[in-house]
Structure 1
Amino acid sequence: MIVPKIMRAFGEGIDDAALNRARYIAVSKQIPVMYSIIGVSLIAAAYTHHGVAPDYLTVYLPAAFVLMVFYRAALLWRSDIAKLSDEEIADKMVTAIKRSTVMALMFAGWELALFQYGTAYTQLHVAFFATITVLSCIACMMHLRLSSTLLALLINGPSVVFLALSDITVFNAIAINALLVTGTMLFMCFRYANDFKDLIAKQQQLQEQRSRLRSLNRQNRWLADHDSLTDLPNRRHFFSRLAESIGGDHGETRPRIVGILDLDGFKAVNDVLGHLAGDQLLADTANRLRDVLGDDAFLSRLGGDEFGLIFGSSIDAAGAVAKSNQLCEALLAAFDVKGSSVHIAATVGLASYPSAGRTGEEVYERADYALCYAKQHSKGTVVLFSEEHETIIREVSQITHQLREAELDEELSVVYQPIIDSGAGRLTAFEALARWDSPVLGRISPDTFIRTAEQAGLIGQLTTILFRKALAVAERWPEDVGLSFNLSPYDLNSFETMARLIQAVEESKVRPSRITFEITESALVQDIGRATESLEVLRNMGSSIALDDFGTGFSSLGQIQRMPVDRIKIDRSFITGIETDGAARNIVNTIIDLCRNLNLECVVEGVETREQLELLEARGCSLIQGYYFSKPLPPEEADMFLGKWVEKRKRNAG
């Protein structure tokens, strides 16, 4: 324990592991050189004293010393310092100082013994041997100040004292010279040791800084590639992995399935419970998805409530569909969000490489299309992109092109389906329905070309043309016959379209109070704030608002209560089979009661049979629209139909 204490007193920093290792590495490279110098010097001194001094001083002891120093040199030369622990390094440092002290004492004794023999020349050789050996030892051990000092004192000290006390003036001068040189070397040794210590400290600081920088870089890379809310890879990481996994010069060519999962009902949770609850729901959703997928797919959050999937190459299309169905089922279980039980669903679109596309971007776009298709036709299910969808895309592309090239004023037309008050026996309004007869493509389904126009950004232009045509026909009707006109969610979000609609009303002879604008629930779900603002403008103008296709979307009762709605239209899907389907009948009865309680008018679409009409009238619902009364009619036929109802009403009144 005494050596470590002395080392600390000398400022050796024995507790600094990095400094110890650096010193030991440096010393271990120089000690073999020092031992070699000592060995050669021993042999030379023994040779000059052979025959003058006893054999044990010139043969046996030097031989033992030489064997010892060369043996130690060989051991150090072969040692693997990198494998030594910090504790082992510290122990070896202490051992090296102890060993050098013992060796110095042995050499000092041998040196003093030799001084007793020979001539002044041989004594001068011993003094020279001591001085030069000490200088080489100091130079080789300069990283260890304590060791250098001990070597200088124990080896050179006796010879300096001996020479200084000699009666020979030359020896006195040599003593002074040796003392000065040794002192200077020790001073330089101390300076070098301090500089070395500072250098190692700075290197350690640099290493720590580099380590912190590497850690920060890793964190920055992680943050750049991951979503902070769910800890999932983010959109950037997803597309980077997609490029690595699919196609390209460096991508794989094995089949891969890419998917997009979108949550159904998430926006309602955000609106009702707040964004913090929505964040918790997203984090819990990510955990469930991770648990189900395991290592079968690369999962990421693309943004909002949308998640990306890249399935492993060992999973085929059937396996991806099965695994995606498991994801949908897992998300059906209730979530506990801020003490509330929350239910959501999920829809998944899948696409297969290379059948659906040759690049990652193409496959992703096909998966996105499959997702949109599922949202429109079978929400809450899994849809795999197929040839049928590819055909639809080509058709939509053709339709988009023709919409851009068409003379829409000439090719668009409007048909009118009457809305009858069966209780009063009166025709109350016509709903205007869009038609497009393309000279190139023929008649296109309204659902198809309206949806295509929305995606192409042309819906505002179509809405304005169709509305002006409908107003022109409505001008011919009696004042008590209204016009119902459908608006796209995109119309409600466009100030320009809303301004054109208001201008069209102002330029027509139709009073705003005769007009009812119909919107779907999707308009509420997309942007309720903007939709409410636009609907308030229409209402302030004097028009009414109807919520169309009620029951098929995801609007909440709270949203309906806040919306400026005057009328609810029950979707035809609930009327089909109402005669025999008790569940459908109960849903319709519930909506009728809702309208009555909220003081809203209720219109039933899709009535086709007398039995359906009687069931609805029995529940007090008399505003009827459907093929039971009339199919959608061209303007002239609508005028004729209206005339017949007017005559019928006059006869009944007479």
Structure 2
Amino acid sequence: MSPAAALSRLYCRLSVGLTGAEPSSEDALPNTKSVADAFATTMRTSMCYFLVFAGLYFTINTLFYRVPGDPGLIPGVSLATLVLCVLFWAYNRQRASVVRLEMTGHVVGLAFIGNALLDIVMQYQSIKLMYLVLLVPAFAVSGVRPRVIYSTSLASITGLLAATYWLDRTQLTNCAWVAFASLVIAVGISRVTRSAMLRAVKLKIDSDQNRDQAILLAANDALTGLPNRRAFLKALDEHLAHDAGFYLGLVDLDGFKPINDIYGHSYGDQVLVEVSRRLRASCGHQSTVARLGGDEFAVIIPGVDEPALRSLGDAMCVALAEPYSLNNETAFLSASIGFTERMRGESNTSKLLERSDYALYEAKELSRGIAVLFDRGHEELIRSTKAVEQALRGIDRDRELTLAFQPQYDLKENKIVGFEALARWHSEKLGQVPPDVFIRAAERSGLITSLTPTLLAKALDAASSWPDDLRISFNLSARDLLSPRSVDRILDVVRASGVRAERIELEITETAMLTDFAQALKATSRLSDTGCRIALDDFGSGYTNFSYLNQIKVHTVKIDRSFVLALEQGDHAKKIIKSMIELAGNLGMEHVIEGVETAHELKVMRSVGARMIQGYMFGKPMPADDIAAYLSSHDSDRFKLRPAKLLRSIETC
């Protein structure tokens, strides 16, 4: 224990021992410990200044003040008091403490009183009695507690009255009145000074708390308590400033919007809080987890290698896919994660975020609820995608965009029932661009909403020359459905085409439902109200499709080709396809099996009750100009495929 601490403890023991109790409520500083500490800091400044000026006074007193007949006692006591002032000044400079200030007030106050009494006794002059009176307001200003002020003031007045009584009783009455007046003034000064200082201290504390709260809100998400986007970007910059590798991950929840729509935003908030808890638990204390906004999160994971990162990503996906208990309800969702590695020496924040975002997009495209690590192959795709996006911005839509049409066949009626329009793009700069490449680039860039009206108009123009009972199927992007203006343009194209709305089937995907179910529901309702048919594309490839069938008016479900490909692995896929066909039938919906390409696949489809088929088995995508020849090459009614021709089709496919 340091000497200063020992001195403070000794004073506390003596104080309690002399008074027999702890300080009274009057002596205690008000409100919280923070107020008391701040008040002690303020009073320390006053006390230190008081000791400095007192030290100057006693320095002058020691050097120049002399009393006749004094053998040097007064200069010696003045010097001792000067040393005492210096010591207590240093003692209080160490830290702000109410106990230290209280002890200083008592000890120094008694030393001042002793100096004044010694001077009066050594050479009495009535004017010197004022020394003791002047000390009272000094004690009132510098005292940290009322008990310090009262005890030192009373000691000074007692010394005054005692000296007057023994040395000059004729002044006793006057001194008594002066003493009374000085006490009243001391109490008044003490009250006013302490109240003003306490008020200032409280205002400063409130200001500091508001500032700290503002800083906290500026850096943290109010709902989850995680760092927000601003704080995350700052943390990312700090990691980049160090020459060390780490992994950056972007996390996006799959199926969160329907939870808000179905259960309400309060339940959605509960889910977000639980997601943040699971992320922190999965990533560990060394990682930085942040909420970027909505249902988007980000993580910075240092100190792991690639195998450990992949295991961690899988663990995060598993943890976030666990059920969420919402009072008496249970909600389900998953999370897709895109990771990228920060290599040593790399310092480009935007590039890291771009790579992570691309990996996240890949995760959502491949299979929702998984983690994808950005690799060199993705780097090449980013470069090609940027080139495609740039070319799309300068595209001549009317001239460069074309359509191919793939037939849809009814096995029961043995005839063609319609065609699906498939977009094609021959760029003047890039040549023929694969459909999946430019459609993905158009969706990522938001340009798809400007392409859709042009492509739909071309598709309907082609369908206007077909027999009146052939349908035209056209794919809509999720962005088309989520934009009311885009829906308006689509409806304008349908009305202007002259094609009966009942012949038009608009295909939508699950992505729009997951992103904004309420808006997607409004959009599909507007489209179906015109008489257009609604088809749910890639049925079965997502885990929440069934929940939409009760709310969206769907006429057709298109069963994803992945189930047809899985037929080679056993009967499980066959049973799934049969169940989905029966489900669609029970709900009054038609079905289309996509991607039927072989005789074996066709045989299995017949055996499970499939009716509508689409795939190379019945025709590859063809230009609009070839459709008339395709139809006329069959029966005279232009619809039926005889078995012989069907076999020839199988052989050519």
Amino acid at match of 1:285: V
Q: Give the structure 2 partner of residue 51 of structure 1.
A: none
Q: Give the structure 1 partner of residue 236 of structure 2.
A: 242
Whether contact under 8 Å (1:517, 1:546) holds in the other structure is: yes
Q: Give the structure 1 partner of residue 133 of structure 2.
A: 138
CA distance change for structure 1 residues 254 and 158 in 2, over 3 Å: closer, same or farther? Answer: same
Q: Give the structure 2 partner of residue 44 of structure 1.
A: 67
Which residue, out of 224, 232, 237, partners 2:226? 232
Structure 2-normalised TM-score?
0.80
CA distance change for structure 1 residues 645 and 275 in 2, over 3 Å: closer, same or farther? Answer: farther
Whether contact under 8 Å (1:356, 1:362) holds in the other structure is: no
Which residue, out of 274, 278, 283, partners 1:288? 278
Instruction: Name the % identity.
Output: 30
Whether contact under 8 Å (1:522, 1:553) holds in the other structure is: no
Whether contact under 8 Å (2:635, 2:642) holds in the other structure is: no
Q: Give the structure 1 partner of residue 166 of structure 2.
A: 158
* 3-state DSSP of counterpart to 2:422: strand
Distance 2:593 2:529 in 1: 26
Query: Do residues 608 (structure 1) and 617 (structure 2) align?
Result: no
Distance 1:470 1:356 in 2: 52
Distance 2:640 2:289 in 1: 69
CA distance change for structure 1 residues 424 and 189 in 2, over 3 Å: closer, same or farther? Answer: same
Alignment of 1:464-543 (within 5 A): 464-543=453-532
Distance 1:158 1:524 in 2: 100
- Structure 1 residue 598 displacement after superposition: 0.5
- Structure 1 residue 336 displacement after superposition: 2.5
Whether contact under 8 Å (1:4, 1:14) holds in the other structure is: no
- Structure 1 residue 139 displacement after superposition: 3.1
Whether contact under 8 Å (1:356, 1:363) holds in the other structure is: no
Query: Do residues 217 (structure 1) and 211 (structure 2) align?
Result: yes
Whether contact under 8 Å (1:460, 1:490) holds in the other structure is: yes
Count of paired positions: 598
Distance 2:101 2:497 in 1: 98
Distance 2:239 2:370 in 1: 26
* 3-state DSSP of counterpart to 1:434: strand
- Structure 1 residue 97 displacement after superposition: 7.2
Question: What 5-or-longer segments of structure 2 have no aligned partner?
Answer: 1-14, 20-24, 30-35, 140-151, 644-653
- Structure 1 residue 146 displacement after superposition: 1.8
Q: Give the structure 1 partner of residue 301 of structure 2.
A: 311
* CA deviation string 1:45-65 (max 9, x = no partner): 435xxxxxxxxxxx7xx86x8
- Structure 1 residue 158 displacement after superposition: 2.9
CA distance change for structure 1 residues 619 and 41 in 2, over 3 Å: closer, same or farther? Answer: closer
Distance 1:223 1:651 in 2: 69
Query: Do residues 629 (structure 1) and 623 (structure 2) align?
Result: no
Report which stretch shifted further, 291-300 or 427-436. Answer: 291-300
Q: Give the structure 1 partner of residue 361 of structure 2.
A: 372
CA distance change for structure 1 residues 630 and 156 in 2, over 3 Å: closer, same or farther? Answer: same
CA distance change for structure 1 residues 395 and 41 in 2, over 3 Å: closer, same or farther? Answer: closer
Amino acid at match of 1:393: I
- Structure 1 residue 370 displacement after superposition: 1.6
Distance 1:521 1:328 in 2: 20
Whether contact under 8 Å (1:135, 1:182) holds in the other structure is: no
Distance 2:345 2:359 in 1: 11
Query: Do residues 274 (structure 1) and 264 (structure 2) align?
Result: yes
Which residue, out of 137, 145, 148, partners 2:156? 148
CA distance change for structure 1 residues 154 and 500 in 2, over 3 Å: closer, same or farther? Answer: closer
Whether contact under 8 Å (2:417, 2:470) holds in the other structure is: yes
CA distance change for structure 1 residues 382 and 492 in 2, over 3 Å: closer, same or farther? Answer: closer
Report which stretch shifted further, 465-474 or 600-609. Answer: 465-474
CA distance change for structure 1 residues 36 and 650 in 2, over 3 Å: closer, same or farther? Answer: closer
Distance 1:352 1:196 in 2: 65
* CA deviation string 1:373-431 (max 9, x = no partner): 22112432222223322221221222122223333222222111111111221111111
Amino acid at match of 2:234: S
* CA deviation string 1:432-491 (max 9, x = no partner): 111112233222111211222233333234222222322233233222222112122222
Report which stretch shifted further, 89-98 or 611-620. Answer: 89-98
Distance 1:455 1:483 in 2: 26
Q: Give the structure 2 partner of residue 335 of structure 1.
A: 324
CA distance change for structure 1 residues 482 and 217 in 2, over 3 Å: closer, same or farther? Answer: same
- Structure 1 residue 105 displacement after superposition: 8.3
Amino acid at match of 1:153: L
CA distance change for structure 1 residues 293 and 2 in 2, over 3 Å: closer, same or farther? Answer: closer
Which residue, out of 337, 342, 352, partners 1:353? 342
Could you say which structure has the larger radius of gyration? 1
- Structure 1 residue 95 displacement after superposition: 6.7
Question: What 5-or-longer segments of structure 1 have no aligned partner?
Answer: 6-11, 48-58, 112-125, 165-174
CA distance change for structure 1 residues 555 and 137 in 2, over 3 Å: closer, same or farther? Answer: same
Q: Give the structure 1 partner of residue 6 of structure 2.
A: none
Q: Give the structure 2 partner of residue 297 of structure 1.
A: 287
Report which stretch shifted further, 342-351 or 276-285. Answer: 342-351
* 3-state DSSP of counterpart to 1:46: coil
Whether contact under 8 Å (1:325, 1:382) holds in the other structure is: yes
Q: Give the structure 2 partner of residue 406 of structure 1.
A: 395
Distance 1:574 1:289 in 2: 33
Distance 2:395 2:59 in 1: 99
* CA deviation string 1:71-110 (max 9, x = no partner): 56544542324569545655675677778888988888x6
Q: Give the structure 2 partner of residue 638 of structure 1.
A: 627
Structure 1-normalised TM-score?
0.80
Q: Give the structure 2 partner of residue 384 of structure 1.
A: 373
Amino acid at match of 2:632: G
* 3-state DSSP of counterpart to 1:647: coil
Distance 1:538 1:341 in 2: 33
- Structure 1 residue 234 displacement after superposition: 0.9
Aligned-CA RMSD value: 3.9
Distance 1:133 1:194 in 2: 24
CA distance change for structure 1 residues 474 and 32 in 2, over 3 Å: closer, same or farther? Answer: closer
Q: Give the structure 2 partner of residue 397 of structure 1.
A: 386
- Structure 1 residue 286 displacement after superposition: 0.8
CA distance change for structure 1 residues 529 and 95 in 2, over 3 Å: closer, same or farther? Answer: closer
Whether contact under 8 Å (1:548, 1:570) holds in the other structure is: yes
- Structure 1 residue 214 displacement after superposition: 0.8
Whether contact under 8 Å (1:101, 1:150) holds in the other structure is: no
* 3-state DSSP of counterpart to 1:431: strand
Distance 1:297 1:539 in 2: 48
* CA deviation string 1:236-271 (max 9, x = no partner): 21122223333xxxx444434322111223233333
CA distance change for structure 1 residues 462 and 96 in 2, over 3 Å: closer, same or farther? Answer: closer
Whether contact under 8 Å (1:569, 1:605) holds in the other structure is: yes
* CA deviation string 1:8-67 (max 9, x = no partner): xxxx975558699668767766777788899899973435xxxxxxxxxxx7xx86x876
Q: Give the structure 2 partner of residue 54 of structure 1.
A: none
Distance 2:100 2:458 in 1: 95
Distance 1:347 1:68 in 2: 81
